[in-house]
Structure 1
């Protein structure tokens, strides 16, 4: 236990608080790029950017050195589609800003509750306790995912990729996406039928092209029109038949589709590859949770990869507070046939590319130095992150959970443990 607690502190102590320059020496560098895995290599970071990768690099004067001693170094990991920063306590409505449910609040003369212009980015709180808990386990960026709620629309709204380094201006340029939930779970928002979803989507597209109509507001029409000009749209969809409809709809309307969920995606892998779409799977989904996922299987990621589909990972259900379990998804996919390097790419390079975050997700010269040094294989649940860097700056490896742990493991003093030491 002492080693687990002391190593991160020693690493942090070796680095100036705001350093953007460092040399990480003798690491097993998992680049998540064409170079693959490089054993006994050094990574030189200057100005927050990777400047050189190679064996035996010299540290420039004044640049601190971290001795990796062969331990794995990876890019910062993708947290999946989450509510990190827009959901604090899922059971407390006042702390959840992910969904819009105008419902009866919308007067008849103002049209429907469809609001594709709804953008959750503006509610982002970089100091959410949930962010800290996941950040110290290697999660450096996420994509905010709006939720489709009763009283709202299955066109849930917009969200962007967010850097989790504590800044307020955390949205990463070029990553904004529109989110649409489809299938059986969303049928209650489309008149009780998934066929109604396609009818309403076609109407919305027609209104966006014409610039008038009753389903969308003027701002909603303008928003949707932007996605009809090559915009990125995330479709939450599982059933193979629905995925085929998604691909056809996206192709017809000039959208770049990302498929989230994709429980039955392996059945239409050839069509997905032809569309150059990315699939974000939950590799722990091995049983049908609904009639939309009857063909769900633990080897879905491996089958998609074998067919040439780009595969990433996103946890479903409790994704926000357990984004750190992304590593478990990837490791589970490896156990069921996905190559290890492809699994790491599914946590790094694949989602970064899918959401236009082109300067992250890989360890390569010119890339931002968002890095994680691990105690062992990063896809093993027993492994932990020893240090996380954002653009070469070492993050404080503390969270609400570690603070509570330390408070209640400490010997009792004159005051109850609930009172912090002064």
Structure 2
């Protein structure tokens, strides 16, 4: 109950004179930027933007003051590559919008290869998963297109969204193309891993105008698909490839160099074996910090030290989950904390949830660190944000205090109520 009371007090304070103006005083400010960690420091927010960071700041007239009492203050955290707002109930297909499987609209076109598919168009900011994720200190995610049975290894487009509950998608113009490779998807490419590279190269050739004409027998892409894929070649857009095996990572690096792809890797269970090459190519890697024992023949060399070894080689490391990332996004802090427990420096662990993903997806001008001029997406913690024994006390987005409520907390409060004249399922009057 102390956490709830503090959250409400902080929310009330920061919603005082102006919902976007406040001074957070006396925090341990983990900037995730050039200033590093500042002890007993203040952060001034005006108009939803960070205006000053440092000790002894004065509060302008009418600006509410929040006393952090030494607690950690961080930028809003990255929730990983998810389907938040696209996936409500995993087992109920009508509530899942992360994948597409289409029949051929014309002879000769394998229409399920549709890079023009864009999952951000289906984003629902009213999803119950948004507040569930947000009150855990996670303020933005990258919506990822997935590959379904009968679909394509070129899954489609996604992009970053803020978990502010609004319908405006401010980063909609900064999309990414998602490609999924590996042995588990060989059935989509002629039951051959090599077939994946064959079809991927054919699609690129068609997009460059050096393949089969659109609509001809054996063509993979529609005219719209060719135009979309062409927009990601020659480093004109982020290409996110999920891959685990060392040999596949090496093939992907060759492809990226040959076709000039602005590459981001996810998964990379055996990435540590290719760490020097990834660092030389300046490829950010999003790993699962809990991946240890092999889950397939693609990840025989999985290790809990993957993130630490990649970082030591100079690779930008961030975190995302395998499996049900949408409903368990809050566990991304555990991934980072576990990586720190296995050799990753603490500051690199925090950067992997803040600065690194913002840089990887072209958002560093607005997000990812506590710096003057950046958006005031901030989280005040009860303790170490990489330790799951601690929690977010208050979240601000654009300087606005976010109600620290979700469907989960409301259900908790309903069924923990003292017995009354009506069953607990009935709301209190």
**Structure 1 length as normaliser, TM-score?**
0.97
Q: Compute the displacement of 1:108 (Å).
A: 5.0
Kindly indicate whether the alpha-carbon contact (under 8 Å) linking 1:173 and 1:357 is maintained by their aligned counterparts in 2: no
Contiguous gaps of at least 5 residues in structure 1: none
Residue 413 of structure 2 aligns with which residue?
406
Kindly indicate whether the alpha-carbon contact (under 8 Å) linking 1:76 and 1:361 is maintained by their aligned counterparts in 2: yes
Residue 9 of structure 1 aligns with which residue?
8
Q: What does the per-residue CA deviation read over 1:128-169, in whole Å, with 9 as the maximum and x for residues that have no partner? A: 101111100001000001110111101100000010001111
Q: Mapping of 1:47-126 within 5 angstroms?
A: 47-102=47-102, 105-109=103-107, 111-112=109-110, 113-126=112-125
Kindly indicate whether the alpha-carbon contact (under 8 Å) linking 1:79 and 1:326 is maintained by their aligned counterparts in 2: yes
Residue 368 of structure 2 aligns with which residue?
361
Pick from 376, 397, 406: which aligns with 2:383?
Answer: 376
Residue 140 of structure 2 aligns with which residue?
141
When the two structures are aligned, how many residues end up with a matched partner? 419
Residue 219 of structure 1 aligns with which residue?
224
Residue 386 of structure 2: SS of its match in structure 1? coil
Residue 41 of structure 1 aligns with which residue?
41
Q: 1: CA distance between counterparts of 2:342 and 2:200?
A: 37
Pick from 246, 249, 267: which aligns with 1:243?
Answer: 249
Q: 2: CA distance between counterparts of 1:48 and 1:107?
A: 47
Residue 74 of structure 1: SS of its match in structure 2? strand
2:402 maps to 1:395: yes
Kindly indicate whether the alpha-carbon contact (under 8 Å) linking 1:121 and 1:171 is maintained by their aligned counterparts in 2: no
Q: What does the per-residue CA deviation read over 1:216-242, in whole Å, with 9 as the maximum and x for residues that have no partner? A: 000000000000131210000000111
Kindly indicate whether the alpha-carbon contact (under 8 Å) linking 1:174 and 1:355 is maintained by their aligned counterparts in 2: no
Q: Compute the displacement of 1:318 (Å).
A: 1.4
Q: 2: CA distance between counterparts of 1:107 and 1:221?
A: 16
Q: 2: CA distance between counterparts of 1:151 and 1:232?
A: 25
Q: 1: CA distance between counterparts of 2:169 and 2:138?
A: 14
Q: What does the per-residue CA deviation read over 1:96-135, in whole Å, with 9 as the maximum and x for residues that have no partner? A: 0000122xx3245261121011000000000110111110
Q: Mapping of 1:265-304 within 5 angstroms?
A: 265-304=271-310
Q: 1: CA distance between counterparts of 2:285 and 2:49?
A: 29
Pick from 332, 336, 339: which aligns with 1:333?
Answer: 339
Kindly indicate whether the alpha-carbon contact (under 8 Å) linking 2:14 and 2:21 is maintained by their aligned counterparts in 1: no
Contiguous gaps of at least 5 residues in structure 2: none
Kindly indicate whether the alpha-carbon contact (under 8 Å) linking 2:141 and 2:163 is maintained by their aligned counterparts in 1: yes
Residue 268 of structure 2 aligns with which residue?
262
Kindly indicate whether the alpha-carbon contact (under 8 Å) linking 1:140 and 1:370 is maintained by their aligned counterparts in 2: yes
Q: 2: CA distance between counterparts of 1:27 and 1:227?
A: 42
Q: Mapping of 1:155-174 within 5 angstroms?
A: 155-174=154-173
Q: 2: CA distance between counterparts of 1:48 and 1:252?
A: 43
Q: 1: CA distance between counterparts of 2:319 and 2:173?
A: 20
Kindly indicate whether the alpha-carbon contact (under 8 Å) linking 2:22 and 2:44 is maintained by their aligned counterparts in 1: yes
Q: 2: CA distance between counterparts of 1:341 and 1:174?
A: 30
**Structure 2 length as normaliser, TM-score?**
0.96
Two-structure CA RMSD over aligned residues (Å): 1.2
Q: 2: CA distance between counterparts of 1:341 and 1:252?
A: 34
Kindly indicate whether the alpha-carbon contact (under 8 Å) linking 1:164 and 1:170 is maintained by their aligned counterparts in 2: no
Q: 1: CA distance between counterparts of 2:43 and 2:20?
A: 13
Q: 2: CA distance between counterparts of 1:96 and 1:210?
A: 34
